Amino acid sequence: MKRFVFATNNPHKLEEVKAIIGTKIEILSLKDIGCHADIPETADTLEENALQKAKFIYEKYQCDCFADDTGLEVEALGGAPGVYSARYAGDAHNSEANMRKLMHELEGTDNRRARFRTVFALILNGKEHLFEGIANGHIATVRRGTAGFGYDPIFIPDGYTLSFAEMGNELKNKISHRAIGVQKLCKFLHTL
Ligand code: IMP
């Protein structure tokens, strides 16, 4: 059976990816391979960050692996917070503070278009492959819903009136940026 390490410590992401990839390909977590390192993600683009994480694992463990990076890109802010989404309001990964800052930046702005963009970087036999998933939508004027994480309460995907945090994981995981990116990665892995 083909085997890949997914360079993440996030159990939600791991389950989401395993559910889409199915049982014909084995996915190992960082924990499964005994990796407890704080993997650097210091680049300025999602692509480079995802590659940096995958390369770190490849070089240390010499195994086929993939990693992802996600950002919320807001049109009126020139694509910010983008690659800096996790630390938009400071260093603490504080979703409440991040949303507050974003709502503040958009006060009085009519253009609230935004998109979540995920990049998966795969290293297979030493060769790099990138897969992108995008969810287009807009930023709400008030927070809505309690499911999900990060910016979910203020992101309304196109074609829906519910925020990601109101729709719950089952629907979100069918239409999200990450789901689209994983589906592309999965399609590629099943052609091997
Ligand atoms: P990461 O690449 O998954 O670490 O994502 C970076 C940051 O983007 C996270 O800390 C969240 O703030 C935000 N983010 C990523 N994916 C999502 C999502 O599906 N919903 C809401 N926020 C997200």
Q: Which residue owns the Cα nearest ligand 1 atom 7?
A: 86
Binding site membership of 137 for ligand 1 (Cβ less than 6 Å): no
pTM: 0.94
Tell me the HSE value of 152 on the side-chain side, using a 13 A CA sphere: 17
DSSP code string of 58-78? HHHH---EEEEEEEEEEGGGT
Say yes or no to pLDDT of 143 above 90: yes
Output the pLDDT for position 15. 85
Whole-angstrom distance, CA of residue 28 vs CA of residue 6: 6
Measured CA distances, 159 to 32, 100, 129 (Å): 39, 25, 30
Q: Please, are residues 147 and 98 in contact by the beta-carbon 8 Å criterion?
A: no
Binding site membership of 151 for ligand 1 (Cβ less than 6 Å): yes
Say yes or no to pLDDT of 91 above 80: no
> What confidence category does residue 169 fall into, taking pLDDT thresholds of 50, 70 and 90?
confident
Say whether 69 is catalytic: yes
Atom of ligand 1 nearest to the CA of 49: 2
Output the pLDDT for position 145. 97
Atom of ligand 1 nearest to the CA of 86: 10
Whole-angstrom distance, CA of residue 12 vs CA of residue 42: 23
Summarised one tens digit per residue, pLDDT across range 68-83 is 999 999 999 999 999 9
Output the pLDDT for position 135. 98
Buried (b) or exposed (e) across 7-29, using 16+ Cβ within 10 A? bbeeeebbebbbebbeeeeebbb
> What confidence category does residue 13 fall into, taking pLDDT thresholds of 50, 70 and 90?
confident
In single-letter form, the type of residue at position 143 comes to R
Say yes or no to pLDDT of 10 above 90: no
> What confidence category does residue 111 fall into, taking pLDDT thresholds of 50, 70 and 90?
very high
Summarised one tens digit per residue, pLDDT across range 18-59 is 988 889 899 999 999 999 998 999 999 999 999 999 999 999
Average pLDDT for the chain = 94
> What confidence category does residue 121 fall into, taking pLDDT thresholds of 50, 70 and 90?
very high
Query: Can you tell me the mean pLDDT for 160-167?
Result: 97
Q: What angle do CA 163, 84, 7 make, to 5 degrees?
A: 90
Atom of ligand 1 nearest to the CA of 95: 12
Specify burial of residue 163 (Cβ count, 10 A radius: 0-12, 13-18, 19+).
buried
Strand, coil or helix: 157: strand
What kind and span of H or E run contains 93? none
Query: Can you tell me the mean pLDDT for 114-131?
Result: 97
Output the pLDDT for position 61. 95
Residues 6+ apart with CB under 8 A from 143: 99, 153, 154, 163, 165
Phi, psi of 114 (to 5 degrees): -155, 165
Say yes or no to pLDDT of 137 above 80: yes
